[in-house]
Structure 1
């Protein structure tokens, strides 16, 4: 089990709390500059946290008191992390085999045994036949497999993956996804994956932590995160398109800018008469042409076809509220939907999720003037 708790204001602002169990893939997502890579480097000991704690498999890697005095800190070389970088980070003057062997240099093994282990890992990655090639003679996917073999050769306590699939083509990426799925079962170690790709996080991760400006905003399983974000900032960062505001009071939700009212169940965490943000998933939206008492009239402003999928931008009649709907191109044709045409939007209020507008862990509070 990996347990991380970092709370510092300098040299880089960080308020991070996360855990990762053996065999779990835990994704870190967030915008560029949010601190995702810094977190990995801090765990690996390449950066020093000012205050906090890092524990892996009951071994203390870092412990400080509140004043920042270090009580215990393992050097990076003693933390036994497997680290796979975005740009491969292979030594250009070494062969694929020697790049893996170098990870075993500080282990008490004969040179022949190191060579055997390195060759075995290249075989396991499906590139044993390329062991004598230099990095420039390998494709991007092959180089990343060498990097993965090197990261795993020491049998690490944790595996840190820093956007390892972003620089390779889709077929190669899918092959590496499969390899990762296979080795996670055998290794049974915590795996932290930094990625910009929400689809990748959804596909690979058991849990996702959303990071923004050095703060961990929410940790949840992908399905929960995408349907029930903790606040409006999380909703924005995970790509939820339909985010609105309203007032919530005793189960009734108003919609700012629209006369529509919804009956919404809350867990009792929202005070009466609170201004809230709210989201509604695509699965809760349906469109038709016939007018109804429960429907909301909307004007079709834009239809963008993306292969077999279309993204439709609608504006609620007599307002500036816009809502996005995704459907198949066949459904668009069936509805005879055209730009400037009128449609009725039905919303399943049971799937509406309400959130505080500006919670305590929203980093935007640091940008506000006093």
Structure 2
């Protein structure tokens, strides 16, 4: 198990707290420059936070309070980390086997045993037949497999992956996803994955931490994160397009900019009469040809078809607002919907998620990380 709670102010603010169980993949997502890679470097010991604690497999790797008492920072070489970099970081003058052998250099075992272990890792990556090739003779995906074999050859207690699939084509990426899934089952160690690809995080991770300007804004399962973001900034960062404002009053949500009042579930967490932001996932939207008691009149403003998916912009009548509805091309064809038509939108009240309305720079957004 990996547990971290770290904080610093310079050279950039960092305030992150998370746990990753053995066998789990925990993704760190956020904009470029948000501090995701910095967190990995701190875990590996390549840099230190000002205060906090980093603990892995019941061993403390870093510990410092605000007074710098009981300071501890285990050297990089003594932290059992496998670190996979975005650009592979293979030695160009060494072949694949020799690159993996580097990780076993100080293992204390004889050369022939090290060679057999390195070959076994290349075999597990499916590239043992490429052991004699140098990096320039390998494809991007093959280089990444060599780098992954090297990271795992030390039998680390945690695996750190820094944008490992970003420079690889889609078919190769899918293959590496399967390899990562197999490794996860076999090794049962915490795996931290830095990625800018939300779909990748949703596909691979058990939990996701959203980081913005060095601050962990929310940690949740993928489904909870996309359906119930903590605040409007999280909703923006995870790409939730349908974010609106309103006023909440005991189960009634007045939709700002419209004359509509939506019935929502009152969980007793938001005071009556409070200004709020709210989101609704795509699963909470449906479009009908005929009106019923639960529908709102809308006009199809624009239809954008992307392969088998159609993105439909619906203008809320008698307002300046629009809401986006993603449907399959088949559903669009079945309903016979075209731009300019008047149809009816149904919003599932059970899927509306209400959030306190706070500015992005409000310091209260840093609470409960």
The answer to whether the 8 A contact 1:226-1:238 is kept is: yes
Query: Which runs of structure 2 are paired with 1:164-313 in the superposition (5 Å)?
Result: 164-313=164-313
Aligned to 1:127: 127
CA positional deviation for 1:293: 4.0
Aligned to 2:8: 8
The answer to whether the 8 A contact 2:248-2:254 is kept is: yes
The 10-residue stretch of structure 1 (102-111 or 158-167) with the greater mean CA deviation from structure 2: 102-111
Aligned to 2:26: 26
- SS in structure 2 opposite 1:338? coil
Quote the Cα distance in structure 2 between the aligned partners of 1:359 and 1:311.
Answer: 29
Moved over 2 A (4+): 67-70, 289-294, 333-336, 359-366
Quote the Cα distance in structure 2 between the aligned partners of 1:26 and 1:117.
Answer: 28
The answer to whether the 8 A contact 1:217-1:361 is kept is: no
CA positional deviation for 1:76: 0.8
The 10-residue stretch of structure 1 (46-55 or 125-134) with the greater mean CA deviation from structure 2: 46-55
Q: What per-residue deviation string (whole Å, max 9, x for no partner) do you get for residues 104-152 of structure 1?
A: 1122111222111111110111000100000000000100000000000
Quote the Cα distance in structure 2 between the aligned partners of 1:82 and 1:255.
Answer: 50
Calculate the TM-score normalised by the size of structure 2: 0.95
Quote the Cα distance in structure 2 between the aligned partners of 1:72 and 1:365.
Answer: 30
Structure 2 alignment gaps of length 5 or more: none
Q: What per-residue deviation string (whole Å, max 9, x for no partner) do you get for residues 204-249 of structure 1?
A: 1111111111011111111111111111111111111111111111
The answer to whether the 8 A contact 1:213-1:363 is kept is: no
Aligned to 2:333: 333
CA positional deviation for 1:353: 0.7
Q: What per-residue deviation string (whole Å, max 9, x for no partner) do you get for residues 287-323 of structure 1?
A: 1222344321222121100111100111111211110
Aligned to 2:151: 151
The answer to whether the 8 A contact 2:63-2:72 is kept is: yes
CA positional deviation for 1:359: 7.8
CA positional deviation for 1:276: 0.7
CA positional deviation for 1:69: 5.1
Quote the Cα distance in structure 2 between the aligned partners of 1:360 and 1:240.
Answer: 16
The answer to whether the 8 A contact 1:296-1:346 is kept is: yes
The answer to whether the 8 A contact 2:217-2:365 is kept is: no
Structure 1 alignment gaps of length 5 or more: none
The 10-residue stretch of structure 1 (165-174 or 124-133) with the greater mean CA deviation from structure 2: 165-174
The answer to whether the 8 A contact 2:29-2:211 is kept is: yes
Change (3 A) 1:170 1:243: same
